[in-house]
A and B are shown apart, each in its own frame.
Chain A
Amino acid sequence: MARILVVDDSKMFRMLASAPLTEAGHTVLAVDPLSIFEVLKALYAFNPDLVLTDYWMPNCNGETLVKVIREDPNFHNVKILVCSSHGEESLVERMGQLHINGYILKGKGMQSLVERTAQLV
C-alpha cells in the first residue's frame, strides 16, 4: 500500500478523496495548500509515493506545483495524479506535457480515484 499526499483547497474534497483511499489501505495525508511552501513542507515530511492534486487552487497553482515536484531530484519517483472538475481538451493536453502520471475528473467519482491510484502505486 502507498503513501498518498492529497492537495486541494476544498476541505470537502480532501475528505472525499482521503476516505476511499484510506479504505483501500493507503496511508493518506491531506493538506490545505495555503501556499506552495506548505505543500513542499508536507512533501518533505511525508515523503509520499503519489501526489493527488487539484489544478485550480487560489494560493497554489497545480501546474506550478507539478513543475516544482518534477524539478526536485528528491521526488523523481513520485507519481502525480491531477484531479479536477475541468475536462477541457486543451487543459488535459497541457497537463500531459507536464509529465504527470494521470489526469482524472472529480465527476467520475470516488471509485474512479481508487482504481486510477491502484494502477499507479
Chain B
Amino acid sequence: MSESNATILVVDDHRLTAELTGMALEASGFAVLIEESGAAALALLAGDASIRAVVSDMNMPGMDGLALLDAVRQQGFTQPFILLTGQDETGQLARHPGLDAVMTKDETVEEALPQLLADLLGRAAPAPAAQTGIPAALPGLDLEHALKSLNNNWATLKMLLDAFREEYLTAGADYRKLRDAGATGACLASLHSLKGAAGMLGATRLPSAIADLEQAIAAKDDLACWPPFTTALDELLEGIQGL
C-alpha cells in the first residue's frame, strides 16, 4: 500500500467524534477504520497488518487511551500511536513511554492531525482527496455513477464503501451457513437486504447474481448459484479494500 492512502485506526467511544476525526483524515487522503472501544481496536489490530497508525481518544470507559497504548505495544504494534485528549493533560501524557504524540482535541485537530500523521509516517503532506485518491475504476461498481449521485464527494463515497465492506465482509459464508442450516427465510431476507444495498451503491454484477440466487433458492436448486454470488461479492469487497 502506498503512503498516500495509509490506513489509520481511529478509536473513540463517541462514534460521531470518531467519524469527524476520520473525515478530516480521509479528506487528506488517508484511509480510516473506526472502533468504539479499546478492546475492539486491539482485536482489529491483531488481524489487520495494513494499519499504519492509531489515533485514540484518552477518556474512554473500560480501557482508556493509555491502557490501549500499553496493550497495543505489548501486542507488538510498533507503528505511530497518537493520543487525543483535553487541554490540561497534554504535558503529563507526552512523557508516557511508547507514545508518539499527544494532541489537544480542539478546532486545530482537523488541520494539524493529518500533518502530524504525515510527518510521523515519513512522507510529504498529503494532497486533498479532491485532487487525488479517486481510482479510475472499481471492479463491480459503476464508480462514475455513484460519485455523480454524491455530488462528486469522494470522501462520502469512500465512507459508504467502507461501511458496506464492514457490513458484508463475511456475508458470503454467513448466508450460506443459514441456507445449509435450513434457515431459508433468514437467508433470503439477508440476501434481499444486501441486494438492495448493492443496487443503491451502484454495484454492477452483485444485484443480478443475488437475484439469480434468490430464485434458485426458492426453486430449491441453488447449489450452482452460490459461486457466482460469492465471486461478485468478493470482487466488490476486494476492490473496496484496495482503495
Interface residues of A (CB under 8 A from B): 9-13, 15-17, 19-20, 23-24, 54, 56, 58, 84-85, 105-111, 113-114
Interface size on B, residues (CB 8 A): 26
| A12 & B151 in contact (Cβ 8 Å cutoff) | no
The B149-186 residues at the A interface (CB cut-off 8 A) are: 149-151, 153, 156, 159-160, 163-164, 167-168
B160 partner residues in chain A, CB cutoff 8 A: 15-16, 19
CB neighbours of A24 from chain B (8 A): 151
Q: Which chain A positions have C-beta within 8 A of B168?
A: 12
Tell me the B residues contacting A by CB distance below 8 Å.
142, 145-146, 148-151, 153, 156, 159-160, 163-164, 167-168, 189, 192-193, 195-197, 199-202, 207
State in angstroms the CA–CA spacing of A58 and B189 once bound together: 10
A110 to B142, CA, bound (A): 11
Task: Show 18 residue pairs from A and B whose CB-CB distance is below 8 angstroms, ordered by the A residue.
Answer: A12-B168, A12-B193, A13-B196, A13-B200, A19-B156, A19-B159, A85-B192, A106-B195, A106-B197, A106-B199, A106-B200, A107-B195, A107-B196, A107-B207, A109-B142, A110-B149, A110-B202, A113-B200
Q: Determine which of B145, B156, B192, B197 lies in contact with A111 in the assembled complex, contact meaning CB atoms within 8 Å.
A: B145
CB contacts (< 8 Å) of A54 on chain B: these are 196
In whole angstroms, what is the CA distance A11 to B196 when docked? 11
Q: Is the CB of A56 within 8 A of B197?
A: no
B199 near A12 with CB under 8 A, answer no
B193 touches A13 (CB 8 A): yes
Q: How far is the CB of A82 from chain B (nearest CB, A)?
A: 13
B192/A56 in contact, CB under 8 A: yes
CB pair A114–B192 under 8 Å, yes or no, is no
Name which residue of chain A comes closest to B191, CB basis: A85
Rounded to whole Å, the gap between the CB of B153 and the closest CB of chain A is: 6
Given contacts A107-B196, A108-B199, 13 further A-B contacts (CB under 8 A): A10-B197, A12-B168, A13-B197, A17-B200, A19-B160, A24-B151, A106-B200, A109-B142, A110-B146, A110-B149, A110-B200, A111-B148, A111-B149
* A113→B197 CA distance, assembly (Å): 13
Whether B156 lies near A12 (C-beta < 8 A) is no
Q: What residues on A are CB-neighbors of B195 within 8 Å?
A: 85, 106-107
- In the assembled complex, the Cα of A15 lies from the Cα of B148 at a distance in Å of 17
Q: Which residues of chain A have C-beta atoms less than 8 A from B197's C-beta?
A: 10, 12-13, 16, 106
Query: Are A110 and B196 in contact, with the CB atoms below 8 A?
Result: no
- For B201, the closest partner residue in chain A by CB is A16
Q: Nearest A residue to B157 by beta-carbon distance? A: A19
Residue of B nearest to A24 (CB): B151
- Residues of A within 8 Å of B156, CB to CB, are 19, 23
